């Protein structure tokens, strides 16, 4: 549970649970999670007999942005298999994905903030850029998730 404190939590200590029942079975850590956002659109409305000459803004639908996960290629097929389920039209392959920010304190093992991505499904997979030049770059794969809603706890 998040505790109010004077300094912000660091961004480097987090876990991603893909909602496939393998939370205790690590299949490669994600090096980056980006795109966590939620937006509420507004509808503009004005009564014809309103005494003021401006519109009122009322909340309309809300939406969540696409979330991108990046990890080093380790030979695990779980991301690509999930994408294949969606490509085959399996709408039951949507999952609730959890991203847990952990405290960087030595004793802090629990999550301080958890973002739950409701009904997430992969919409894009990108493989690594391969180059024959020598170097120490890591092969990175990327998965973009479409998300219906984001909850924070």
Place of tokens 């659109």: 41
Q: What is the pLDDT of residue 24?
A: 60
DSSP letter, residue 51: S
Rounded CA-CA distance 24/43 in Å is 44
What local confidence, expressed as pLDDT, does residue 19 receive?
82
Indicate the length of the chain as a whole number: 153
Token pair of 7, please? 């300094």
Instruction: Note the pLDDT of residue 11.
Output: 83
The predicted structure's pLDDT at residue 44: 94
Report pLDDT for 49.
92
**What is this structure's pTM?**
0.84
Q: Where are the domains of the chain?
A: 14-37+65-152
Q: Which residue has the tokens 């649970």?
A: 17
- The token duo for 147 is 């998300």
* Cβ–Cβ < 8 Å for 58, 82: no
3-state secondary structure of 54: coil
> In sequence order, which residues have a C-beta less than 8 Å from that of residue 111 and are 6 or more positions away?
15, 100, 101, 102
pLDDT in tens, 124-144: 999 998 888 877 888 999 999
Which pLDDT belongs to residue 22? 65
Could you list the mean pLDDT of each consecutive 10-residue stretch along the chain, which spans 153 residues?
Answer: 75 85 67 95 93 92 96 87 94 93 76 93 93 83 96 92
């Amino acid at each position: 549970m998040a505790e109010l404190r004077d300094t912000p939590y660091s961004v480097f200590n987090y876990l991603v649970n893909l909602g496939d029942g393998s939370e205790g079975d690590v299949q490669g850590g994600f090096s980056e999670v980006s795109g966590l956002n939620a937006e509420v659109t507004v509808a503009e409305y004005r009564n014809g007999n309103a005494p003021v000459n401006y519109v009122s803004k009322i909340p309309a639908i809300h939406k969540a942005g696409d979330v991108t996960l990046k990890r080093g290629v380790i030979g695990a097929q779980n991301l690509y298999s999930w994408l294949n389920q969606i490509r085959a039209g399996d709408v039951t392959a949507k999952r609730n994905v959890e991203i847990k920010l952990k405290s960087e304190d030595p004793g802090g093992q629990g999550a301080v903030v958890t973002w739950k991505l409701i009904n997430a499904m992969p919409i894009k997979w990108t493989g690594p850029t391969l180059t024959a030049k020598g170097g120490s770059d890591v092969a990175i794969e990327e998965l973009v998730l479409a998300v219906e809603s984001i909850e924070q706890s």
